[in-house]
Structure 1
Amino acid sequence: MWIIQEVATATGHATALLGFYPVQWRFLTHVVFACCREMCPSPLRVMFLGDAKGLSILRQLEGEYKELKQKSELDREARLAIEVPERLRKLLRKTSGHFKATEPHDHLYALLGLLGTDDIPQEICPDYSMPFEQVFHKYAVYLIKNTKDISFLISHRRELTGVPSWVPDWRFRSSEEKNSSPKFIDLSHLEISRDGSCLEVDGIVLGKVVTVVHPTQIEADIRSTNLYSKFGGAGQGEEEDNLIATAKAILTIFRGMQKLKDMCFRDLTTVLPGISLSNFKRHWESFWKVYHDDVFRPIREMLEGAKEVDLEVLMKDESGTMIVAIGSELLDMSATGLGILNSSGLVMSSRTNEPIQIDDIICLFNGINQPCILRRKGPHYKFLSVCRMSSFHEDIIEERSFKGYEVRRLVLV
């Protein structure tokens, strides 16, 4: 984490050491990004782009810090009370999960030098004697009180104990969406209890989970194809065998998705006998990306039985990539479960260690671009995760109205 501050605040030109060879930081970033542009699509390029993401963030933060320092001292001090919390919020959103730190505290403390002021608010001053979980809690309370923003809940992993469920684990990455601050409720209530243990917030209740499907047999069938362990070059004479094996794997995923749809509707009609097939079908199609782009029309027609299955079409270009992505979702879904709501809505947790359960409720909060999963805990609720996928996602992105749903004041603990 400290490299962020070292690069951004350097008075001269930053230099990186590759082994014992000094390389100008600016030259290094230019070379890396040029390689990213020129590399052919491949698993290697995906890995390379992941590593280059950190460099991209560093370069962006360096530019922002230098721009901040160019402002006059008077102008900056005049707006200090507003700038510090908002800048900290943006820094955490950009850096969470992208950098490593020996001390968990440093995922927060290493950013303080980029706030553009030496006058650090008392609430966020470094204190290494405090357990890092409590430090994360203090920062969450500070941000909520000063920015009225809870978008930090968009986190795909959490390993914290001894603090409220809504405190984020800033060691891990959050999702990155263009539409990051949707507003669903005008004048939404947002308040922290005096002791900092409870977060009281207004949310739109989209429904309650009435059944959960775990496609364990579908997962076993997909894993038996070894598709996800085969990425890489084939040896001489292996290409034809690999092509046949890949074709079988693609077909297994395709059939698995068809089976899952039947399983979901069967389970839903068991708990809600009068449920509408058309309403379920609408949510099913909203849940999967394959139904959102016309380039995948042939896949949709094959899935719905309107067209014969054509393996050649399923395997080529964008179609093959989409099927492989669906297979990956099905594998994770076996662990997280696919939750089905009393409204026929479909949701999947973003955290594989927090499987969705019957009676969990699904809510929308201002500033969060995916529904959230909550679980009853006495008179209050425990925050589980945002949804990794949901059948409400397109409505959220398009900022459609949710006026037909109940707005409820919820207390998260």
Structure 2
Amino acid sequence: MKPYSAVKAFKTTVLSKVHSSQSVEDYQGPHRSPAYPYRKLGDNDIRLLKIVPGKYDDQIECLLDQVPLDSDPHFYSISYAWGNASKTMPILLEGRPFDITINLYAALHQMRALENEMEYLYTYIWVDAICINQQDIEERSRQVPRIADIYAQSIQVIIWLGANGPAANRLRKRVSQKADLVWYSDISPIRLFQGAWSARHKPSKDATISQLFRTAEKYWQQFIYSEEDESTILRDVLGRSCSLVDHGVLTLMNQPWFLRAWTLQEPCLNSLEPLVHAGRHSIELNRLYAFLKAYVEEYRHVSLTKGILRLVGLYQIREECRRQRVNLEDPTRKAKTPSEDLAKCFMRILELAGDMESRDPADQIYGILGLVQACTGRELPSELTPDYSIPYETVYWNYSAFIFEHCGDLRLFSCRQQNLPNVPSWVPDFRHLRVRISHRTNSPLVSISSDKRELELQGRKLGVILDYIDGCSLDEIEPDKLNIPEAFSQRLKLIQDRILSRSSELREIAQEEILNTWMGCTRRLFASELESFWQAYCRLMANPGPAKRSRTETETEMYEIHSRELVIASEASNPIILLKDGSIVCVKRTDIQIEPEDILCSFKGSKLPSLVRLSGDKYIFLSQCEIRGGMLEPQEFDDDFWAETESHPFFLV
């Protein structure tokens, strides 16, 4: 790992060597052995990229070298979202055409344009799409375990969030001539924030990002040196630019980078703070994060964006990696078996990761292995070694069996969908897994059969199902800024007639109180009293069609009102069960069809109940659930509960 002072010295040395020659021959140096077309990598080899200087409109040219990683080469590593893999732009790689995704093309183009500010042109860059032969499955499998070392040994991690639209008009024109597409950097914020600005007054993306980064830098300086509290500093630096900054935050926090599986570990593996690039603007990640932490405290609607959730998890993981590195050097630390260490660390990363997306489903796991290895210092057992030649369903099966066997963490059941062929029902679909810290327990009791097909748990049956409503597609009922779908209103009326009103009669409490419990902790996201959840529910149920908005509502108030609507839609789309005692049960998995004979039960080692289906003398696992009101709602399924409860074996297949 290079100390910061060494990096600064290196940058000074590199920049002193800048010259005006733009020819490839002068730039590439003598006696090179080009690494493209690809040749086999040695055990310690990596490929590194150089960008050839050029004018703004010149085609991008790059050189590719193959060097030993232990020779301590100086290089930056790039963390970026691939984008649509089917829409590409050609560069010249060692003089030959080479197609890369549009987002990577924009990143290389921007780096070449920064030649007077940065030294990207005069040192190496490591970028996975080019430096790993993506067509060679064996090479991809061998390189995945080395990712941690590659990012750790780089000078700095460069996070590329995309171009900023109007600032890249000439590049946009070139791209539009190559492919028929919607410009990737103009991806709208998620549906939650659509329509917040009118077309007439909508600021440019470049202007909002520029204002955001300037404000964040100003906040950082005052945060470091001022003795005032964070909210006072925030108000001071925002001034009259609050609306512009807010739009910049919402735009930036919904960039695809914040959802990718690989981008979770990449900024965590290097000890230096990553540098964030959004078009021509840049800022160190810790400065942006410090500002956003304070901003979310004042403007809670931003906490619903994927980017904020990812940043919080990312910094917790960075701290976890730092703490674990210290622990590894402590000879007095409590020793664990290698398998237990790996399994528990894997679950810890998953609980901090949040939602992840990947082009290859196996990368939901492979994309965080570098973090697991960095935190534990352990080598993976042979059955977990990355292998892109086997089906991803088998990868999921192998890893879930390993985790169940060695740490018994039943939070792996917390899956929103599962459509995996030829695997047991208890194997989670890691693409739809959401592990909650609050659902962790310290007393798992799990065993797995030798053929890894049956999972044996201890548990007991809970309440009896009185009625239920299957889930529906969120897309069919989700409201936007302008319209409340008829299907949404009908769904809410169905829930009121069959669930809320009947639960109210059985429990003898008001429907409004039942609804508030059903909405759960999401209510705490909304600080103002613009409209209660019950008022919003009744309005949405009674008034389908064009959404009515008061002319006096501010932009932030519009966000909050629409946020309530989306929370209600999200909860209403889930399957819902009514028990005979009036308890309401929210089924977490959205793609199942409930049957009257299905069984709600509690497993020892899980804080959440589960829904299972009898299959012969064994059970098919369906979903984890949450109790949302009723006699079972205050029940903690902890050690005290099981000390007073008789349990029985459940065999899941």
TM-score with structure 1 length normalisation? Answer: 0.70
Residues 193-212 of structure 1 correspond to what in structure 2 (within 5 A)? Answer: 193-209=449-465, 211-212=467-468
Question: Is 1:395 matched up with 2:651?
Answer: no
Indicate the residue corresponding to 2:349 in structure 1.
91
Question: Distance between the aligned counterparts of 1:378 and 1:287, measured in 2?
Answer: 41
Indicate the residue corresponding to 1:123 in structure 2.
383
Alpha-carbon RMSD: 4.2
SS at match of 2:272: coil
What is the deviation of 1:201?
0.8
What is the deviation of 1:198?
0.6
What is the deviation of 1:15?
1.4
Whether the 8 Å CA contact 2:612–2:623 is kept in 1: the answer is yes
Question: Is 1:113 matched up with 2:370?
Answer: yes
Q: 1:175 to 1:73 in 2, by over 3 A?
A: closer
Whether the 8 Å CA contact 1:182–1:369 is kept in 2: the answer is no
Question: Distance between the aligned counterparts of 1:83 and 1:231, measured in 2?
Answer: 48
Q: 1:288 to 1:408 in 2, by over 3 A?
A: farther
SS at match of 2:432: coil
What is the deviation of 1:50?
3.0
Whether the 8 Å CA contact 2:598–2:612 is kept in 1: the answer is yes
Q: 1:21 to 1:393 in 2, by over 3 A?
A: farther
CA deviation string 1:37-63 (max 9, x = no partner): 333x55xx355x332111111111111
Indicate the residue corresponding to 1:170 in structure 2.
430
Question: Is 1:357 matched up with 2:572?
Answer: no
Question: Distance between the aligned counterparts of 2:274 and 2:570, measured in 1?
Answer: 41
Question: Is 1:71 matched up with 2:312?
Answer: no
**Worse overlay, 102-111 or 158-167:** 102-111
SS at match of 1:384: strand
**Worse overlay, 173-182 or 107-116:** 173-182
Whether the 8 Å CA contact 2:424–2:453 is kept in 1: the answer is yes
Letter of the structure 1 residue corresponding to residue 585 of structure 2: V
Larger relative contact order, structure 1 or 2 (CA cutoff 8 Å, min sep 6): 1
Q: 1:137 to 1:11 in 2, by over 3 A?
A: same
Whether the 8 Å CA contact 2:500–2:515 is kept in 1: the answer is no
Alignment: residue pair count:
349
Whether the 8 Å CA contact 1:286–1:393 is kept in 2: the answer is no
Indicate the residue corresponding to 2:555 in structure 1.
none
Q: 1:102 to 1:341 in 2, by over 3 A?
A: same
Question: Distance between the aligned counterparts of 1:166 and 1:283, measured in 2?
Answer: 37
Question: Is 1:51 matched up with 2:307?
Answer: yes
Q: 1:329 to 1:393 in 2, by over 3 A?
A: farther
What is the deviation of 1:16?
2.1
Letter of the structure 2 residue corresponding to residue 102 of structure 1: R
Question: Is 1:368 matched up with 2:606?
Answer: yes
Q: 1:192 to 1:91 in 2, by over 3 A?
A: same
Residues 319-358 of structure 1 correspond to what in structure 2 (within 5 A)? Answer: 320=535, 327-328=568-569, 331-332=572-573, 336=575, 338-341=576-579, 345-358=583-596
Question: Distance between the aligned counterparts of 1:405 and 1:285, measured in 2?
Answer: 32
Question: Is 1:229 matched up with 2:479?
Answer: yes
Q: For structure 2, which runs of at least 5 residues remain unmatched after alignment? A: 1-260, 520-528, 539-563
Structure 2 residue aligned with 1:150, among 391, 410, 424? 410
Indicate the residue corresponding to 2:128 in structure 1.
none
SS at match of 1:55: helix
Question: Distance between the aligned counterparts of 2:367 and 2:471, measured in 1?
Answer: 43
Letter of the structure 2 residue corresponding to residue 100 of structure 1: E
What is the deviation of 1:6?
2.0
Residues 221-370 of structure 1 correspond to what in structure 2 (within 5 A)? Answer: 229-231=479-481, 259-261=497-499, 264=502, 280-281=506-507, 288=514, 290=516, 316-317=531-532, 320=535, 327-328=568-569, 331-332=572-573, 336=575, 338-341=576-579, 345-370=583-608
Indicate the residue corresponding to 1:271 in structure 2.
none
Whether the 8 Å CA contact 1:362–1:373 is kept in 2: the answer is yes
SS at match of 2:573: helix
What is the deviation of 1:319?
5.0
Letter of the structure 2 residue corresponding to residue 394 of structure 1: E
Question: Distance between the aligned counterparts of 1:327 and 1:68, measured in 2?
Answer: 40
Question: Distance between the aligned counterparts of 2:415 and 2:471, measured in 1?
Answer: 24
SS at match of 2:614: strand
What is the deviation of 1:404?
8.0
Q: 1:104 to 1:287 in 2, by over 3 A?
A: farther
Indicate the residue corresponding to 1:13 in structure 2.
273
Whether the 8 Å CA contact 1:371–1:386 is kept in 2: the answer is yes
SS at match of 2:349: helix
SS at match of 1:395: coil
Question: Distance between the aligned counterparts of 1:200 and 1:165, measured in 2?
Answer: 13
Whether the 8 Å CA contact 1:93–1:152 is kept in 2: the answer is no
Letter of the structure 1 residue corresponding to residue 634 of structure 2: D
SS at match of 1:374: strand
Indicate the residue corresponding to 2:288 in structure 1.
28
SS at match of 1:358: coil
Question: Distance between the aligned counterparts of 1:67 and 1:180, measured in 2?
Answer: 21
Whether the 8 Å CA contact 2:470–2:594 is kept in 1: the answer is no
Question: Distance between the aligned counterparts of 1:74 and 1:125, measured in 2?
Answer: 28
Percent identical: 22
Indicate the residue corresponding to 2:622 in structure 1.
384
Whether the 8 Å CA contact 1:140–1:168 is kept in 2: the answer is yes
Larger radius of gyration, structure 1 or 2? 2
Q: 1:167 to 1:130 in 2, by over 3 A?
A: same
Question: Distance between the aligned counterparts of 1:264 and 1:398, measured in 2?
Answer: 26
Q: 1:412 to 1:389 in 2, by over 3 A?
A: same
Letter of the structure 2 residue corresponding to residue 99 of structure 1: M
Question: Distance between the aligned counterparts of 1:177 and 1:347, measured in 2?
Answer: 20
What is the deviation of 1:149?
2.1
SS at match of 2:409: coil
Indicate the residue corresponding to 1:2 in structure 2.
262
Question: Distance between the aligned counterparts of 1:321 and 1:66, measured in 2?
Answer: 45
SS at match of 1:383: strand
Q: For structure 1, which runs of at least 5 residues remain unmatched after alignment? A: 233-241, 266-276, 294-313
CA deviation string 1:33-90 (max 9, x = no partner): 3332333x55xx355x332111111111111112222335463795452422211121
**Worse overlay, 316-325 or 162-171:** 316-325
SS at match of 1:394: coil
TM-score with structure 2 length normalisation? Answer: 0.46
Question: Distance between the aligned counterparts of 1:386 and 1:141, measured in 2?
Answer: 18
Question: Distance between the aligned counterparts of 1:328 and 1:17, measured in 2?
Answer: 35
**Worse overlay, 316-325 or 191-200:** 316-325
Whether the 8 Å CA contact 1:339–1:357 is kept in 2: the answer is no
Question: Is 1:101 matched up with 2:358?
Answer: yes
